[in-house]
Structure 1
Amino acid sequence: MDVAENVQRARAAYAAGQWVAAREALRRQRRTTALDPDDLALLATCEWWLGDIPASVALAELAFRQQLAAGRVEAAARGALDLALICYTAGEGALGTAWYGRARRALAGHEQCVAHGYLVYIAAVSRLELDGELRVDVAAAGRAAARLSASADRLQDPALQAFADVIAGLAAVLHGHLQHGFDLLDEAMVAVVAGHLPPLWSGDIYCTVLHLCESLGDLVRMRMWTQAMESWVSPLCRTFTYYGVSRVHRLQLSSADGDWDRVEAELGARSQQLAPAHGWVAGEGFRELGDVRRLRGDTAGAETAYAAARELGIDPQPGAALLAAAGGAGGQALAQIHFALGTRRPFEGSRLLLAGVQIALACGAGQDARQFGTRLSEIAARYDTPGLHARNDHARGRLALAVGRYRDAHSHLGRALEVYRAQHYRYGVAEVHELLAETLDHLGEAGAASAERATALAIYRSLGAGPDVARLAESGPVPAGLTARELEVLAAMTAGASNRQVARQLVISEKTVSRHLGNIYRKLDVTSRTAAAAWAHRHGIGD
């Protein structure tokens, strides 16, 4: 096979997404003769698709120099911009900035082209991340978005319009205009799904929005975007960086769902594999794994996972502070929360503030607890997402309970419970049931308190949350001899859930729900759901 034929086959394989075949053909050709700079760039991209990031970066650097020397300025600049993003996502911020600078210098004085739009996009997104939401320059973001839209029209490049929508959408969300902002981000997704953006840049947009959803406590929207990302990556190569990213995000949601066995079995390995290519998502994976291990009582395992997160530049808070508090170091834990809050943008601090209220109350720092609660209320009011309101109600419930405002506590906790259930946040549901039990004890409603405590215990047991189970296991008998799981089924049924809905809510089969209902009827000496619900209402279960 002659040189021209081999290269043509390599290019055809590349165009068809046959990365292994393209790589082997290009490698074979490179062993006998120098590759054209553009073909060298193709080989670099093949290595990226196949997960060999160091080889990809080395080849891309060589291609950049050769393209620049050959006068292929735009191709060289696009390669440098890709390298900038690869370095940023790998956690090499300084190197990413250096490659961005090379691209900017290469394009200086060059006629306007698509690569100029990528420069504008990176600069605008970086500025939004540095400014934070309380100082976000909406006008500057608007000018950048308008410039990109004009370039998209002039150059007929839909990727630039998608970038414009992302910038405008992020600015709107950070300024507190969530509906408008997410509408714009959804518009950007149209271009991503249609394949109008290079995969590297599409994946980065997905990650940006998913991080936003998680920070805002919007698990519903996070599930939707994670599913969209999975649909996008599923037909692509499994060594593709963003396949690993999508798995880590899915496992974060599995953690919320209560599938901690899956998290323990898979998340550590996934995060380790992803670390060279996407350090900050890998770090978030280790942080999540540390949280699950902490809640299961595996202190050493949690510390190991948190250390891995730190090595990748992710501060594993509030989990590390909660671990310290559980070990008796309340003052140290409180100091960790204060320090972490100083390093986060305000909208990213809701989980820290909720944990801070818990830690501060436990170590008698009432003023700190109240200040944390006030800050969390301000964030919830500004961004107005169900998840943030739930975290705020959870915190306000703890604060009200601590000062004897039991009716207020009951109202706040009831609202938090409703959202946590809708979001399928199992551990949060259990925590709130436990707090409701304490609240109802103070209100003199012993039967309802016992039911709430039993429900919390049942969820903790299903999760494998050993320390919580140990704390509640000796709480005493439950009404009518019902088991904790039977009380949980009865409460859900009394709230109006069908057998199927109960099964989905408790992550059990419909057959198991039916068996529990049979036991409930027998123990209560009733023969219908209506009679069982009436008994539950009389005893404050499910109200």
Structure 2
Amino acid sequence: MTDASVMIDAARRAHRDANWRDARAGFLAANADGGLAPSDLRALAASQWWLSDIDGCLVSLESAYRASRAEHDEVACADTALLISLLRLTRGELTVGTAWARRAQKLLADRPDSLSHAYLAYLEGASGIAAGSEDLWTAESVARLRELDDALDDPAVGAIAAVVEGMRAMRSGDAAGGFGKLDEAMLAVVGGDVAPEWAGDILCMTIHACYELADYRRMAEWTHATEEWCAGYGADAVYVGVCRVHRLELRSAGGDWTETESELERACADLQSADPWVAGEGWYQVGEIRRLRGDVAGARAAYDQARELDIDPAPGEALLHLADGDGERAWALLTSALIGRDRLARVRLLRAGIEVAIATGREADARELRDELVAAAEDFGTDGFRAWAEHGSGMVALAESDATGAVEAFHRALGLFTRLGLRWEQASMRSWIAAGLDAQGDAAAAAQMRADAAAAFDRLGALPVVVQKRPEAPRTGPLTEREGEILALVAQGASNRDVATRLFISEKTVGRHLANIYLKLGVGSRTAAAAWWRDETDGS
């Protein structure tokens, strides 16, 4: 037996034993002059993937693709192309990832349905590449996977079909139905029915869906199940790092910040190449810890890290600007972040939007955001969304001088946050309850509630929450609040386009409001309307 054969046999044994470091070293040594078989190149790539060496993994997979093509093995070519596509898309490389998916699609076009077709449908559903748009989890991808699941007796196909159906249901507002399907898929994944690279993507997607819906109990349970699944693949496995980030996100949400911040920093730095999306989410959480502790510069640095990894640091960055006294910047950041997001993705921004809208005198906008948040909480039905909706409703009630309604809503939110075990949120609600009690004239009860909140913030090492009072509304005479906003900008010399940009509305809407303003004021021009405004507001 030659030296190369000995090295290859040793590398194969190491690979079977999940000894990824020895497998990688052995295959690389045996491939010093090239010539590894396609199956060994794919084993090398798998070893590199488990060790988070994604750059090396992609090089090996592309070598495996070329070797399989030289052997005219189109099935192996398609499977390798699909895996390259998955890894490229995970790293945010949409153009290259899509090109590899298209290559796989051509190779599979005339072949009988198989697991490979299911992987292709999954990629199309997860990325929107099938329709050439950003529409995810379409009815077409669900139907295609149902068809494959019916035709093929393969638990992996069933798991993939359940994931796509679950994600579509969830993003359509059926959280219970969606989670039911995702739970079904996760059982198959942690049971070993799905290839590890694809299983890992499904695990991450499901855990993120739990986080996005503020379902922290389910997130904790599936994170634990994922950790157990990873344990079978060795301590070096890439998803050990992914699980660590999710576990630390849970600890952060619960208010356990003492060591979480530094641990998250290390985990994100280690994961940036292998899974930049998860790393970006982790950096955002680092920014949140720092913001709530009063480390403004540190929070901004962490938010910048998240943004570099294509994670929008909203709403945290906006709330940082609000606390710094720049409410207009906060409002601009939030409204910009809301544009283009689907209904579920908007929910995490709405509560902050209500707070910023009230703090900057936009009560009509605050009511609209409150209504959207309440409707989402009713439709999606998670305790996290219900707590956010109660908090948002309380803020609007307080701004409208309904102190009793505000206190009642804040107490309901406090109960939900207590059930969820979110300690910072509990302390925050006590601060808001104190503000409501002050508005009711119950100074003694407010002082006690504020003292309880202060003690909780002190235990967390967090800054106390300061409930900002809404600004005095400008005198607008017969005009609505929105008409007053528009005329104030016109009086400052803003064009219709400028007004539309500042208020995030269309120029047509601005023109319609101005026509109403002229009619109400009995004037015929913007110059006359602006003069009325300056007189009414004493030139301010």
TM-score, length of structure 1 as denominator length: 0.81
Task: Tell me the equivalent position of 1:108.
Answer: 109
Alignment of 1:14-413 (within 5 A): 14-31=15-32, 34-127=35-128, 130-131=134-135, 137-138=138-139, 140-153=140-153, 157-413=154-410
Q: How far off its partner does 1:180 sit?
A: 2.3
Alignment identity in percent?
Answer: 39
- Does the 8 Å contact 2:41/2:64 carry over to 1? yes
Q: Is it true that 1:465 corresponds to 2:469 in the alignment? A: no
CA-to-aligned-CA distance 1:282-331 (integer Å, 9 cap, x gap): 10111111111111111111111011111100100001111111111111
In the aligned structure 2, how far is the partner of 1:169 from the partner of 1:469? 40
Give the Cα separation in 2 of the matches to 1:268 and 1:452: 35
- State the secondary structure of the residue aligned to 1:130: coil
Pair 127,470 (structure 1): closer, same or farther in 2 beyond 3 Å: closer
User: CA offset at residue 269 of structure 1?
Assistant: 1.7
Pairwise CA distance, 1:24: 2.4
Q: In the alignment, which residue of structure 1 is the partner of 2:490?
A: none
TM-superposition CA deviations, 1:130-152 (whole Å, max 9, x none): 336xxx754x3441231231243
* Alignment check: 8 A CA contact 2:108 2:117 kept: yes
Between stretches 343-352 and 392-401, larger displacement belongs to 343-352
The one-letter code of the counterpart of 2:147 is R
Which amino acid is 1:36 matched to?
A
Which sections of structure 1, spanning at least 5 residues, go unmatched? 472-543
Counterpart contact for 1:124–1:144, Cα < 8 Å: no
Superimposed CA distance per residue, residues 127-176 of structure 1 (whole angstroms, 9 cap, x where no aligned partner): 499336xxx754x34412312312432xxx32111101111222222222
The secondary structure found in structure 2 opposite 1:466 is coil
Do 1:461 and 1:469's aligned partners in 2 also have CA atoms closer than 8 Å?
no
Q: 2:50, 2:238 within 8 Å by CA — same for their partners in 1? A: yes
Task: Give how far 1:238 is off.
Answer: 3.2
1:123 alignment partner, SS class: helix
**Cα distance per residue 1:3-47 (max 9 Å; x no partner):** 444433322221221212222222222235621122112111111
Q: Matched residues in 1 for 2:138 and 2:62: separation?
A: 35
User: Could you tell me whether the CA contact under 8 Å between 1:29 and 1:35 is conserved in 2?
Assistant: yes
Distance 1:392 1:324 in 2: 23
Superimposed CA distance per residue, residues 518-541 of structure 1 (whole angstroms, 9 cap, x where no aligned partner): xxxxxxxxxxxxxxxxxxxxxxxx
Q: Aligned in 2, Cα 1:38/1:219: closer, same or farther, shift over 3 Å?
A: same
Q: Which residue of 1 aligns with 2:486?
A: none
- Equivalent-residue separation in structure 1 for 2:119 and 2:393 (angstroms): 44
| Counterpart check, 1:424 vs 2:428 | no
The AA in structure 1 aligned to 2:149 is S
Segments of structure 2 that go 5 or more residues without pairing to the other structure are 469-540
Paired with 1:181 and 1:328, the residues of 2 have a C-alpha distance of 41
Q: Take 1:357 and 1:144, find their aligned partners in 2: how far apart are those partners?
A: 41
User: Residue 213 of structure 2 contacts residue 384 of structure 2 at CA under 8 Å; is this kept in 1?
Assistant: yes
Instruction: Note if contact 1:13-1:22 (Cα within 8 Å) is conserved in structure 2.
Output: yes
Shift of 1:469: 8.8
Q: Aligned partners of 1:8, 1:82: CA distance in 2, in Å?
A: 25
> Deviation per CA, 1:181-209, whole angstroms, max 9, x where unpaired?
22221111121111111111111111111
Is the contact made by 1:317 and 1:337 (CA closer than 8 Å) also made in structure 2? yes
Change (3 A) 1:469 1:384: closer
1:33 and 1:219 map into 2 onto residues whose CA distance is: 48
Q: CA RMSD in A?
A: 2.1
Question: Deviations along 1:56-108, whole A, 9 cap, x unmatched?
Answer: 11111111111122112112211111111111112222221121112112223
2: distance between equivalents of 1:32 and 1:97? 31
TM-score when normalising by structure 2: 0.82
Q: Which amino acid aligns with 2:433?
A: L
Alignment of 1:430-469 (within 5 A): 430-466=427-463, 468=465
Assess if the C-alpha contact under 8 Å between 1:77 and 1:107 holds in 2.
Answer: yes
CA contact (8 A) 2:431 2:467 kept: no
Deviates more, 1:27-36 or 1:259-268: 27-36
Secondary structure in 1 aligned to 2:441?
coil
Q: Distance in 1 between matches of 2:33 and 2:352?
A: 61
Paired AA for residue 441 in structure 2: G
Tell me, in whole angstroms, the C-alpha distance in 1 between the residues paired with 2:35 and 2:245. Answer: 39
Cα pair 2:162 2:182 within 8 Å, conserved: yes
Partners of 2:301 and 2:138 in 1: how far apart?
40
Q: Is the 1:283–1:309 Cα contact (8 Å) retained in structure 2?
A: yes
Whole-angstrom CA distance in 1 between matches of 2:411 and 2:145: 42
Partner amino acid, structure 2, of 1:110? R
Determine the C-alpha separation between the residues in 2 that align with 1:131 and 1:104. 19
The AA in structure 1 aligned to 2:67 is Q
